[in-house]
Amino acid sequence: MAATTHTVSNQPPPLVGYDVYGGDRALSEGVARHLASADPELLGEVGRELTLLGTAAGSAQAQGWGVQANEYPPRLRTHDRYGNRVDEVEFHPAWHRLLGHAVTSGLTDAWGRPAGHLRRAAGFFVWSQAEAGHGCPVSMTHAAVPALRTDPELAAEWEPRLTSHVYEEGLRPAGQKAGVLFGMGMTEKQGGSDVRANTTAAVPLDASGEYLLTGHKWFCSAPMCDGFLVLAQAPGGLTCFLVPRVLPDGTRNAFAIQRLKDKLGNRSNASSEVEFDGTWARRVGEEGRGVRTIIEMVAATRLDCVIGSASLMRQALTQAVHHAEHRSAFGAVLLDQPLMRNVLADLALESEAATTLTLRLAAAYDAGTDQERAFLRLAVPVAKYWVTKRCTPMVAEALECLGGNGYVEDSGMPRLLRESPLNSIWEGSGNVQALDVLRALQREPQALNAFLQEVGLARGADHRLDAAVKDLLTDLADLEGIEARARRVVERMALVLQGSLLVRWAPPQVADAFCASRLGGDWGAAFGTLPHSLDLRAVVERARIAGR
């Protein structure tokens, strides 16, 4: 009777073979909304591109690559068999498949294409649901473009390779590659947030912008990239440099990888400690303007932190809903049980608010007007603070929806949970974002104007939103202890912004539940505490994979 004991029942089927893009109503409707006034041909083209990517991301093959790339993490090889330094990192083939698919799908190419940021943001959101770790070099490569544009000569040389849809693994002179990847080196042992404490020294070789660097970087992710934007102290102060791994003559630049970090999550990706010793570098921008130059890159990677967290949240929600649709307990399917529905609806609100905000930011990049730039100046650090901060508790709660299965690696949920705090740390941790918001509020009045104009577009549509905006204005006018209160202020800004977007664009049941809980205060400290009078069934129904 062994067969009887091995009968498997009441377990969900594997969640594969679905379209991550088309199945996500909040995402696909959002993309269509932002492209509503675009040429219909463009809308069709973007839709086809994202459907292809979404179908690939939800395939058993890509999900399998995600598992393998994390089960077989990268390995550092410092020397070859003869004792020569090589400083190479070996990755499982699955890593290269994931990265290759990202690059060939245009995920490093936003800056020149029509609706480039929107389609790339949606694509990054979708493809990260196959695996999140490889998004790191994808993000840094995409983000290096605006920093390099401060030097037209360098941009002309490198931009076509950075935005290329060709993936070529392996270290060779960049001139021999059709596509390259970039990383960044800012953080040192004695200071990460405070980059002005950097001690890496840059000595000019001549007046042509070439320098030699000596020093170290405490975190340098994806060290197999072809080039890095690095901060170092030049005679004129902190300066941005381009450091290639391989010099044009084919010899290796001095780039000694000391070790790889043993990280909580993000295990498919290599994050290294590097030492520079007479490392050749080319200056980017003026001496002493390093932060100004590299901040162009950091602003773009901060948006990617928001996209990455929104993507993790959607993936966790999809898993939770899928489990609850197929699992019964106490005689009923979990999805139909009122308390589970409350939990799932609450998670769905958090996910849709993050998705909608993400797309709005990407569309603002595409618009590129002064008004949108002013809006982004505040909205990006606000979103980076809040969406990345919400990610970990949200993913943890989604994991619990799978019960004990969620705690087991096979479910994929532990990987999502380990990944989730990261976007809140790199590219400026929570406090650093909150302080950046204060800086913008104090020094750039046009940013607050643009932010309030955006929120004001929903004025009068929901009394709880109107009251929350009024409270926020009172909060902003009170400067006493503002630094210690910064997190609370930024949280409020994020919630009114998310609330205003949902009131304008989401189905009424979603907007109503968001405003009642996040703005109206009728909510507990844990997920699953929404007022029972709301239409939670409609909220959960919307979160299910469409067309499945």
Assess 266 for contact with ligand FAD (CB under 6 A): yes
Q: 99 or 334, CB closer to ligand FAD?
A: 99
CB of 512: closest distance to ligand FAD in angstroms? 35
CB of 177: closest distance to ligand FAD in angstroms? 21
- Residue window 428-457: x/- pattern of binding to ligand FAD, with contact defined by CB under 6 A: xxxxx--x----------------------
Q: 438 or 538, CB closer to ligand FAD?
A: 438
Assess 271 for contact with ligand FAD (CB under 6 A): yes
Assess 193 for contact with ligand FAD (CB under 6 A): yes
Query: What distance in Å separates the CA atoms of residue 415 and residue 412, rounded to the nearest whole number?
Result: 6
Assess 137 for contact with ligand FAD (CB under 6 A): no
Among 164, 187, 355, 498, binds ligand FAD (CB under 6 A): 187
Give ∠ CA 286-288-292 in degrees, rounded to 5. 75
Are 57 and 256 in contact by the 8 Å Cβ rule? The answer is no
Q: 219 or 523, CB closer to ligand FAD?
A: 219
Q: 31 or 274, CB closer to ligand FAD?
A: 274
Q: 98 or 184, CB closer to ligand FAD?
A: 184
Residue that is written with structure tokens 């929120």 in the block: 455
The site that binds ligand FAD (CB under 6 A) totals a number of residues, namely: 25
Closest-CB residue for ligand FAD?
192
Assess 74 for contact with ligand FAD (CB under 6 A): no
Phi and psi, residue 114, nearest 5°: -60, 135
Distant-in-sequence, close-in-space partners of 108: CB < 8 Å, separation ≥ 6: 102, 138, 141, 142, 162, 163, 164, 181
Exposed, middle or buried: residue 80 (CB in 10 Å: 0-12, 13-18, 19+)?
exposed
DSSP-derived pairing of the beta strands 227-234 and 328-329: unpaired
CB of 303: closest distance to ligand FAD in angstroms? 15
Q: 220 or 316, CB closer to ligand FAD?
A: 220
Query: What distance in Å separates the CA atoms of residue 462 and residue 460, rounded to the nearest whole number?
Result: 6
CB of 424: closest distance to ligand FAD in angstroms? 9
Binding positions for ligand FAD, 154-183, rule CB under 6 A: 183
Among 186, 270, 284, 510, binds ligand FAD (CB under 6 A): 186
Assess 523 for contact with ligand FAD (CB under 6 A): no
* Long-range residue pairs from 456-463, CB within 8 A, at least 24 positions apart, any chain: 456/500, 457/500, 457/504, 458/499, 458/500, 458/501, 458/503, 458/504, 461/503, 461/504, 462/499, 462/503, 462/511, 462/512, 462/515, 462/519
Assess 198 for contact with ligand FAD (CB under 6 A): no
DSSP 71-121: HS--EEEEE-TTS-EEEEEE--HHHHHHHHHHHHTTTT--SSSTTHHHHHH
The footprint of ligand FAD (CB under 6 A) covers 183-187, 191-194, 219-221, 263, 266, 271, 422, 425-432, 435
